[in-house]
Structure 1
């Protein structure tokens, strides 16, 4: 069973160990000094900014990280995504990782994403949809999104987290279950090989 709790400063050493794992470092490309982790995660932990950062626990053991936020709270992010697709006012986004390399490829990524979506729909009743951009080269990540039920709605160039990557990204979307009047995704932008549905978590 997957459960969640908010990230705390006491968790930073664990988070650093995860960010240093090759399968995470390849895509997150994050500085791992204590100062850098405090700089980038501390404000959310102290609730000084609107993003939420959670630890995923599998049967009581921490196994991964999830970040989510309302896109409108980060206008620069909305501006970056706008050329690919319309960003609804109450749209949210997620980012995620599996910390233990031995758990990668075991189906945990889609389970984490599905569990996170249930929490988002429950805790954020105004959230209309979740949009997730993922670098096209990270096939494991976008396959996990597809397995969790997200649909690829667009492809295009965005600045990658890791400068070694090509800017090509895919954009995935899932609407709130049972939402009436949901704007249909612009399927004219879907890549020809896209399959419905939504990275082993990065």
Structure 2
């Protein structure tokens, strides 16, 4: 069973532990960003108006992190949000922090649940941008109902999109 709770400043230690883990560090962050800087970026979502951050739990235990924010025209050209972003387009970033849960479908279920919640609140398009070489993450996104986009994204990212009318059970 997956549940979500808003990210708080008290989660800094947990995030640092996860973001320092090899299975997360390999794919999260950008341009050599340190785990500490990634924690600081995540904590910027606490109380933010332009995005949200959540810890997701698996059977009551912290399992991972998810953040989302609305895409807007001000994003830089190499950002996954830049590509043709109609109003109501959101980007989700997610990782499973607890390595013992990798391959168990926890990330897929968390991603699916976040999308469904966003669509209920009026999102028109939800995007994810896993690294192309992260085949497990790409498959996770596919199983959560995301389809590849034709839009180009830099840095080896694979832009994938989901709309409310795409079946979530692929």
23 and 38 in structure 1: CA distance in 2 versus 1, 3 angstrom threshold:
closer
The higher radius of gyration belongs to 1
1:9 matches 2:12: no
Pairs within 5 Å for 1:1-202: 1-29=1-29, 30-33=33-36, 36=37, 39-47=40-48, 49-72=49-72, 75-77=74-76, 79-80=77-78, 85-122=83-120, 124-125=121-122, 127-154=123-150, 156-158=152-154, 167-177=155-165, 197=170
SS at match of 1:88: coil
Q: TM-score of the superposition, structure 2-length normalised?
A: 0.85
Q: In angstroms, what is the RMSD of aligned CA positions?
A: 2.5
**CA pair 157-44 structure 1, distance change in 2 beyond 3 A:** closer
Structure 1 or 2: more helix by fraction: 1
Runs of 5+ unmatched residues, structure 2: none
The answer to whether the 8 A contact 1:155-1:168 is kept is: no
What SS does the aligned partner of 2:45 have?
helix
- The total of aligned residue pairs comes to 165
CA positional deviation for 1:43: 2.6
Contact preservation (8 Å) 1:12, 1:37: no
Secondary structure, counterpart of 2:129 in structure 1: strand
Structure 2: how far apart are the matches of 1:39 and 1:24?
A: 16
Using CA pairs below 8 Å that are at least 6 residues apart, which structure has the higher relative contact order? Answer: 1
> TM-score if structure 1 supplies the norm length?
0.73
Tell me, in whole angstroms, the C-alpha distance in 1 between the residues paired with 2:111 and 2:25: 20
